[in-house]
Amino acid sequence: MDNHSGPKCTFSQPPPRPTVVQHRPPIIPDVSSLTTEAPPAMLNLDDNYSSLDEAYIDPAGSITAGHSAKWHKKTIKKSIQNWPDLPKLLTFDPLQPAVPPHKAWNRLPISFSELDAITPIQIFTLFLTNSIMGQLVANINSYAQQQLLWPEKEQQRSWQPVTAQDLYLWRAIQIHMGLIGVPPERYWMKDGVYLPKDGLPPAAYLGKTRFQEIRRFFHISPSNSPTETPGGLSCWHSKVDILLEQLRFFLQQYRVPCSNVTIDEAMILFTGRSIHITKMPNKPISQGYKFFCMAEKGYVWEFHPSLNAVGGDPVDVESRLLQLTDTGKMVHHLTRCLHQRHRKLSFNVYMVNFFTTQPLLAELCRMGIGACGTCRQQFRGFPKELKVGKNAKLPYHFRSGAVKDGVATLLWMDSSPVTMMSTIHPLSGEDSLVLRMRKYPGNKSTNASEANSTFLPGERQKELDIPVIVDAYNQHKVGVDVADQYRTYFDTQLISRRNWYPLFYWILETALINSLIIYRDLPANKEHTVDHFDFRLSIVHDLLQAGSPSTMKSSSHIPASQKITRSAPPHNLP
């Protein structure tokens, strides 16, 4: 062995050359060389696919779909065999409205045009008028006298007949409780709450005992009001029918909705004992009464009590509409009310898959009313050729469709299969797609492997073409949801054992929210944002002023620690 002194010489291999990725023009692969078992209909790479579904092939034989996802021949062969034989997109002529679309506008009384400024209380009293207050005063006093005639109630404290001023204060305190989020048992505590009018505690306007007495004997309908419908069914909302009917009239009287309206379910929280409640575990309000509502950006324009366990409120339909489901009949009834009141205007109805069926949309189309909504594959009228199941794996943004009786059905592959029906949107062509920002889909979605290949590594959102049906539905389906969201901010509902009390609180909240929407749409308020919290606080102040005696002394100072500091919710809702 030779011994060498000095440093040793080492030899290293030259570094590998960097790989250069070249962008190649799209080439349709020769799928016939991959497999001969799949029929030609399964190998369509035509208008049913978007630009993201184009296939790329390199000299080494590997195939790339989308941007950077590489599929080998076995993967492509397996995917092609899993694609169902779906029809191509057809040419569909949507329903053309007789008049151009319109925006919503207020239709206030003529006397309002003579006012220098319109206040929130003036809008609010359009829905709960002074005549309604007079009826409530008479019914409350009549019910109290009947209840106090029982021998076992002779030892109770004496009852002072309620007045309209008492009801003004009673409503003001209930709205104020929702604003500050304080329950009744803590509301009258010493040094606890100060009302906004004069900085006085609630006891200076209405004591706790008086508040509870009014709440105990509060009665809306006369005691002899019928509890059954003419057909012999139980009328479970008979105790609030006076307010429901008058509220429905005023909702439709003072505002014309825009061309796009929503029909959806509205849940009213009630956890007591009643055979009329509905349980929906997947809803934010999982148990309570259910109303079918027609709304536009939070403004409830029409409503109808839902069908319940004992029959509920049926709707009158023509003999040719008996083929519709019960929910379809309800949608037709609500839509017909809108059509009969505004025959010279055009409307489009958006609904969820609980209502959408092909016969319903065909009937609305005959009335000249457009309709759009998600649909379920097992519902009546859904095309058999588009039934692929919930777990179908298709190329990302794959589209297929069918047309029947003037109703277009779309199958679109997002993170999972999406099925929709429409009479007002095209299925194919340049107008059928719109560019929108899309978020990176979750890894647990049905089509995660296909959808994720569309996004580059680390890319969380991207502009992609989506069907115009889907985009329009996402924009206009939230009419009732916005109203429900408004109700959650400053909810006035209190715990009660009477099963009709939640209906009264829903009426009160609907009047407040619709008043807010009308007030924001006034010309004087369009240049600045009207805060929801300040709007309700103004109504509380004016109700206290209407109900308090003129001799009441005001407080000179409100402690800084007792001032209302609760922040208002986001007011950038549509």
Residues 191 and 275 in one domain: no
Higher pLDDT, 316 or 131: 131
277 and 393 share a domain?
yes
Q: What is the pLDDT averaged over residues 12-17?
A: 51
Structure-token match 């579904």, residue found: 53
Q: Which of 449, 466, 482 is the last residue before a domain boundary?
A: 482
pLDDT for residue 48 is more than 50: no
Give the mean pLDDT of the chain.
78
State which residues form the domain around 179. Answer: 117-218+529-562
Q: Do 294 and 415 sit in the same domain of this protein?
A: yes
**Tell me: the pLDDT tens digits for 63-81?**
333 333 333 333 433 444 4
495 inside domain: no
Last residue of a domain, one of 449, 482, 515: 482
CA 195 distance to own-chain centroid: 33
pLDDT of residue 319: 62
pLDDT of res. 16 = 53
Full-model pTM: 0.78
Whether the per-residue pLDDT at 32 is higher than 80: the answer is no
- Paired with 264 in beta bridges are 293
Phi, psi dihedrals of residue 461, rounded to the nearest 5°: -155, 155
Q: Does 449 lie in the same domain as 318?
A: yes
Res 498: pLDDT: 85
Same domain, 380 and 416: yes
In a domain, 14, yes or no: no
How does pLDDT run across 528-542, given as a tens digit for each residue? 889 999 999 999 999
342 and 383: one domain? yes
pLDDT tens figures, 338-373: 999 999 999 999 999 999 999 999 999 999 999 999
Listed residue (457, 464, 376) closest to 414, CA to CA: 464
- Over residues 437-465, the pLDDT tens digits come to 888 777 777 777 777 777 888 888 888 88
By DSSP bridging, strand 260-269 and strand 348-351 are parallel
Specify whether 208 is located in the same domain as 268. Answer: no
Can you give the pLDDT at residue 56?
34
Q: Is the dihedral of CA 497, 500, 503, 505 positive or negative?
A: negative
Q: Higher pLDDT residue, 35 or 236?
A: 236
**Do residues 268 and 376 share a domain?**
yes
Burial 126-155 (b: 16+ CB within 10 A, else e): bbbeeebbebbbebbbbbbeeeeeeeeeee
Predicted confidence band of residue 40 (pLDDT cuts 50, 70, 90): very low
Taking residues 413-418, report their average pLDDT: 86
Q: What is the pLDDT of residues 140-188, one digit of tens each?
A: 998 888 887 765 555 566 788 999 999 999 999 999 999 988 888 888 8
Residue 551 lies in a domain: yes
How many domains does the structure of the chain reveal?
Answer: 2
- Tell me, yes or no, whether 518 lies in a domain: no
Is there a domain that residue 195 lies in?
Answer: yes
Q: Select from 451, 388, 363, 454 the least CA-distant residue to 415.
A: 451
Position 85 confidence tier, pLDDT thresholds 50, 70, 90: confident
Please indicate, yes or no, if residue 44 is contained in any of the structural domains: no
Tell me, yes or no, whether 462 lies in a domain.
Answer: yes
Q: Identify whether residues 251 and 388 lie together within a single domain.
A: yes
**DSSP class of residue 323?**
T
Query: With 50 as the cut, is the pLDDT of residue 436 above it?
Result: yes
**Domain limit, last residue, from 460, 482, 504:** 482
323 and 445 share one domain? yes
Are 290 and 392 in the same domain?
A: yes
Residue 3 binned pLDDT confidence (cut-offs 50, 70, 90): very low
Is 305 a domain residue? Answer: yes
Are 208 and 290 in a shared domain? no
What is the pLDDT at residue 527? 83
Q: Contact, 528 vs 184, CB < 8 A? A: no
